Amino acid sequence: MVVQNGRGHQVSSIVLLKGSNYPTRKLQCRMVLMREGLWSIVSGTEQAPPNDEAENITKFAARRDRAMALIVLSIEPSLLYLFGDPDDPIVVWQISVKRCGLISCSYGKGCILSS
């Protein structure tokens, strides 16, 4: 879903991850990441540029941070403890797949809450 914020900019609204809605949230989140040009970072197909490209590193880091924010802000606050103190969108995505993936959700168990 796309909504307007107070400044007239279009922003995306993703259903919050609650465990049992993992398949819906995963699809919506991936589509927003793709639309924003960030999915390649989360999927790991785009790597950080070499250290000698300072300007490109800065741009990559900003895009990586946007991807991270989008993913984390689409998680129900009561489940955030499962993700620790994340600093990598790839890791957060993988944790959500591992803990709330299709197998556990298809059996109606929702997120696997044990460590």
Q: What is the mean pLDDT of residues 30-46?
A: 94
pLDDT at 65: 95
Query: At 44, is the pLDDT very low, low, confident or very high (cuts 50, 70, 90)?
Result: very high
pLDDT digits (tens, 9 = 90+) for 45-103: 999 999 889 999 999 999 999 999 999 988 888 888 888 888 999 999 998 888 776 43
3-state SS of 84-112 is CCCCCHHHHHHHHHHHHCHHHHHCCCCCC
E strands, the chain, in order = 2-4, 10-12
Tokens of 58: 């800065």
The angle subtended at Cα 90 by Cα 114 and Cα 105, nearest 5°, is 40
Tokens of 73: 């802000």
Query: Is the whole model's pTM more than 0.85, yes or no?
Result: no
